[in-house]
């Protein structure tokens, strides 16, 4: 009977390492390698939707962050950076592009004349509302290969793991 090849790319890598380094337990690659590959594939598929709306992944994230804050759909650039986990320099570039395209505005803060506030424009709100609706349809289709029970179990496992890996969110201000 002929031996079957491993089921996927990660399994092939594990088999090669097991052959070359039988002294090491390569089982963690089964989870980490597949999560990494899934992350890359998911990002690729998610970005297809963003590009249809003329947005990069980061620009979509900025618009979505502003939209979900509620009226008046604005935040300080530093808050946006914290909510999207990028540096303030990277945030400035994103805001520059979105402002150039008429999707956000920047103005001085009424509370602190030195600070700035970034706000969605009506065009930005309309664009993110359409893009986010399609984004949710896309995410639903990406999960279609899992049963609702498997998706719920996976979400629970990932939530627990992330809680152990990720630093806790900052406490709300006064």
pLDDT digits (tens, 9 = 90+) for 25-60: 999 999 999 999 999 999 999 999 999 999 999 999
Predicted local distance difference test score (pLDDT) of residue 108: 81
Q: Indicate whether 42 and 82 sit together in one domain.
A: no
**DSSP conformation class of 4:** P
Q: Indicate whether 114 and 71 sit together in one domain.
A: yes
Largest CA distance in the chain: 77
Predicted local distance difference test score (pLDDT) of residue 21: 94
Supply 72's token pair: 């008046």
Whether 167 is in a domain gets the answer no
Identify the domain boundary among 36, 52, 68. 52
Number of domains in the chain: 2
Q: Indicate whether 24 and 92 sit together in one domain.
A: no
Q: Indicate whether 30 and 101 sit together in one domain.
A: no
Q: Indicate whether 91 and 115 sit together in one domain.
A: yes
Whether 2 is in a domain gets the answer no
Predicted local distance difference test score (pLDDT) of residue 145: 92
CATH classification at residue 68: 1.10.10.10
Q: Indicate whether 43 and 91 sit together in one domain.
A: no
Domain extent, residue 79, equals: 55-162
Q: Indicate whether 118 and 153 sit together in one domain.
A: yes
Q: Indicate whether 43 and 128 sit together in one domain.
A: no
Question: Is residue 108 classed as helix, strand or coil in its secondary structure?
Answer: strand
Q: Indicate whether 32 and 78 sit together in one domain.
A: no
Whether 170 is in a domain gets the answer no
Q: Indicate whether 48 and 62 sit together in one domain.
A: no
If one counts every other C-beta atom within 10 angstroms of the C-beta of residue 86, the result is: 17
Q: Indicate whether 93 and 48 sit together in one domain.
A: no
Q: Is the peptide bond before 72 cis (omega within 30 degrees of 0)?
A: yes
Distance CA 168, CA 165 (A): 9
Render pLDDT for 60-114 as a digit per residue (tens, 0 to 9). 999 999 999 999 999 988 888 888 777 778 888 999 999 999 999 998 877 766 6
Q: Indicate whether 76 and 126 sit together in one domain.
A: yes
């Amino acid at each position: 009977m002929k031996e079957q090849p491993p089921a996927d790319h990660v399994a092939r890598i594990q088999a090669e390492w097991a052959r070359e380094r039988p002294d090491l337990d390569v089982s963690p690659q089964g989870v980490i390698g597949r999560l990494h590959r899934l992350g890359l594939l998911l990002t690729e598929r998610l970005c297809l939707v963003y590009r249809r709306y003329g947005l990069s992944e980061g620009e979509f994230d900025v618009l979505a962050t502003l939209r979900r804050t509620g009226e008046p759909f604005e935040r300080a650039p530093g808050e946006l950076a914290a909510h999207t986990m990028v540096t303030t320099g990277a945030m400035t570039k994103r805001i520059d592009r979105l402002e150039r395209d008429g999707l956000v505005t920047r103005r001085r803060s009424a509370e602190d004349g030195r600070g700035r506030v970034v706000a969605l424009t009506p065009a930005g709100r309309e664009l993110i509302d359409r893009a986010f609706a399609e984004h949710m349809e896309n995410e639903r289709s990406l999960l279609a290969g899992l049963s609702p029970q498997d998706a719920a179990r996976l979400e629970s496992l990932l939530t627990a793991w992330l809680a152990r890996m990720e630093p806790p969110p900052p406490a709300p201000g006064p």
